[in-house]
Amino acid sequence: MAKLTFKIWILIIVLILSLISIFGLPPSFLEKGILITGVEQNSSAFEQGLRQGQIITAIDGKSVESIDDFSKIIQEKYPSEEGSPESSLGGKEIKTIIQTKDSQIIFFSKQAPEITFSNIPKTKLKAGLDISGGARAVVQAQDKKLSKEEVNDLVAITNNRFNVYGISDIKVNPVSDLAGNNFMLIEIAGATPKDLKQLIEQQGKFEAKIGNETVFIGGERDVASVCRNDATCAAITACNDFNGGSICNFQFSIYLSNLAAEKHADVTKKLGINESAPEYLSKPLDLYVDDKLVDTLLISKDLQGRVTTQISISGSGIGETEEEAYSIAKENMNKLQTILITGSLPYKLEIVKLDTISPILGKQFIKIILLAGLGALLAVAIVIFVRYRKFKESIALLLTSFSEIIIILGIASMIDWNLDLLSIAGILAVVGTGIDQQIIILDESKQRVSLSVKEKLKRAFTIILSAYFTALVSLLPLLWAGAGLLKGFAITTIIGITIGILITRPAFTDIVKNIEE
């Protein structure tokens, strides 16, 4: 019976921990229910506490084990016309009890809960943009070379803006290239390049002007708070016919800082009365976003010279149908609220590189690469068996290679590293390198020289260690090459070859020693 040495025990323990990291404890593939991937803000479900990331296990006491179960229960409960958010229940609100993994949520609504959902992932591994699909942009400031500190500030502000927008599945990171240029890398799963382009290129410089004088701007300095997700002070007020389509108006309240309120009072103090509309002052309050006029508000004469912190902001959305106009008005209100909360970005941005990735292509590539990988391992196993004529050593080599892959995936899951196609390429490179080095160990162990098995294996490990440091040095520049777009390959490969040196090669060496002796 083979002796389990200390090095082999380390491999076994790390392997078990990696499997726990990948599948969770209890394993995620045993969980029943559906995963919430998004909840519409301002909806009854959101207000009652339903959030992204929760797992729905039952509705009204009926078990939910799949998307089909959920859809069937909801369709029976809210018999609406297909594609319409409005139910045909005559305006009656229905009580819904949603049981999640950790809590019970009760809400009343006239329509089905406005959520998006998916099946529970079978593993804790996170797919990168190349596999899940979405849009990616490398961004820099226009006419300015940013320092690392400036890029970090830009990333923080951009993250804040996207969070306020309510966008999920987004990564914003500082990156740099070998020339020392600093960029911001933005990745959004499920978004189109057009969506991402609009979000990035809008600097969001908000200004409220009376005449040519700026009264207040967006951001914490002038805007103390913005009413949001509260129907009493932020709502779509009315929808009407407009030029063969529809127009919907929105209105929400903001609260100015004392300094901004005093500035507003000083400016209005100098104004006269509007001759055609005596209840208002002679000049309106004009609202600009990125130097474009978005709305004009008349100022009541009662506010002349008064220090008031509450201001009502309004706007509209126009569409071919009332539903479309309502949706556009809601989106415009959300963007304006976001800009008022976060303020403008510190620089006008431009997109250096913009990519779109289809999830279908990613999944097809994964299937092909898995089949190719299994075929390659099988071919290697046959070659090794023919070369050495020893079944045990061939199996040991294959199992060690598999364990190396599992440990890499376990570490990726532990550090929340998104696996993209370059990361998978890195794993394949590690497997190839690992097999090469294990063959060196096998060859050295069978050399007909007057050395003990221990000395032969020690000599093999010296060769492997030299190759490791050579590979490590050559991979380090890839962390910055291409503005960081090759980082996935570099990090995965570095993790893999380091695991090989510290864990799998020493364990394989002891396994070979046991077989030889």
End-to-end CA distance of the chain: 11
Residues 378 and 494 both lie in one domain: yes
For the record, the structure tokens of 137 come out as: 């942009």
Question: Is the CB of residue 248 less than 8 Å from the CB of residue 316?
Answer: yes
Q: Which of 43-52, 245-254, 326-335, 339-348 has the highest mean pLDDT?
A: 245-254
Please indicate, yes or no, if residue 125 is contained in any of the structural domains: no
- Of the two residues 205 and 494, the one the predictor is more confident about is 494
pLDDT band (50, 70, 90) for residue 82: very low
* Burial tier of 137 (Cβ tally within 10 Å: 0-12, 13-18, 19+): buried
Domain of 115, CATH number, reads: 2.30.42.10
Dihedral sign for Cα atoms in the order 84, 88, 90, 94: negative
Residues 375 and 493 both lie in one domain: yes
Please indicate, yes or no, if residue 124 is contained in any of the structural domains: no
Q: Which of 23-37, 247-261, 449-463 has the highest mean pLDDT?
A: 247-261
Q: Which of 163, 138, 286 is nearest to 228 (CA)?
A: 163
pLDDT in tens, 186-206: 877 655 566 667 666 666 677
pLDDT at residue 362 greater than cutoff 80: no
Please indicate, yes or no, if residue 129 is contained in any of the structural domains: no
Residues 83 and 168 both lie in one domain: no
pLDDT of residue 86: 43
pLDDT at residue 59 greater than cutoff 80: yes
Q: Which of 81, 41, 40, 75 is nearest to 59 (CA)?
A: 75
Which residues have C-beta within 8 Å of that of residue 297, sequence separation ≥ 6? 284, 285, 286, 287, 312, 313, 314
Residues 46 and 94 both lie in one domain: yes
Residues 22 and 41 both lie in one domain: no
- Indicate the residue among 119, 144, 178 that finishes a domain: 119
For the record, the structure tokens of 169 come out as: 């599945």
CA distance 340 to 336: 6
Residues 161 and 249 both lie in one domain: no
Domain of 196, CATH number, reads: 3.30.70.3400
Residues 508 and 442 both lie in one domain: yes
Residue labelled with tokens 């108006």:
249
Q: What is the DSSP letter of 81?
A: P
pLDDT at residue 43 greater than cutoff 70: no
Q: What is the average pLDDT score of the chain?
A: 77
Q: What is the domain count for the chain?
A: 4
Please indicate, yes or no, if residue 126 is contained in any of the structural domains: no
Please indicate, yes or no, if residue 46 is contained in any of the structural domains: yes
CA dist 136 to 151, 171, 182, 412, Å? 17, 9, 16, 21
pLDDT of residue 85: 41
CB atoms within 10 A of CB 269: 10
Instruction: Quote the pTM value.
Output: 0.56
Residues 298 and 269 both lie in one domain: yes
- Indicate the residue among 344, 370, 404 that finishes a domain: 344
pLDDT at residue 127 greater than cutoff 50: yes
Q: Which of 100-114, 304-318, 390-404 has the highest mean pLDDT?
A: 304-318
pLDDT more than 90, % of the chain: 1
Domain of 448, CATH number, reads: 1.20.1640.10
Q: What angle separates helix 487-499 from helix 453-475, to the nearest 10 degrees?
A: 160
Question: Is the CB of residue 185 less than 8 Å from the CB of residue 170?
Answer: no
Residues 497 and 377 both lie in one domain: yes
Which residues have C-beta within 8 Å of that of residue 387, sequence separation ≥ 6? none
pLDDT at residue 211 greater than cutoff 60: yes
pLDDT in tens, 234-262: 888 889 888 888 999 888 888 888 888 88
For the record, the structure tokens of 351 come out as: 């997109």
Could you tell me the residue range of the domain that residue 147 belongs to?
134-203+351-356
pLDDT in tens, 139-187: 888 777 888 888 887 787 777 666 655 555 577 888 887 777 888 888 7
Q: Which of 126, 93, 129, 124 is nearest to 111 (CA)?
A: 93
Question: Is the CB of residue 339 less than 8 Å from the CB of residue 284?
Answer: no
pLDDT in tens, 379-398: 777 877 777 777 777 788 88
pLDDT band (50, 70, 90) for residue 485: low
pLDDT more than 70, % of the chain: 80
Please indicate, yes or no, if residue 198 is contained in any of the structural domains: yes
- Indicate the residue among 293, 311, 344 that finishes a domain: 344
Q: Where are the beta strands (DSSP E) in 320-381?
A: 349-357
Please indicate, yes or no, if residue 486 is contained in any of the structural domains: yes
Buried b vs exposed e over 335-348: b needs ≥16 C-beta within 10 Å? bbbbbbbbbbbebe
Please indicate, yes or no, if residue 1 is contained in any of the structural domains: no
Residues 17 and 70 both lie in one domain: no
Residues 243 and 163 both lie in one domain: no
- Of the two residues 358 and 404, the one the predictor is more confident about is 404
Residues 281 and 377 both lie in one domain: no
The CA-CA-CA angle for residues 378, 379, 384, to 5°, reads: 100
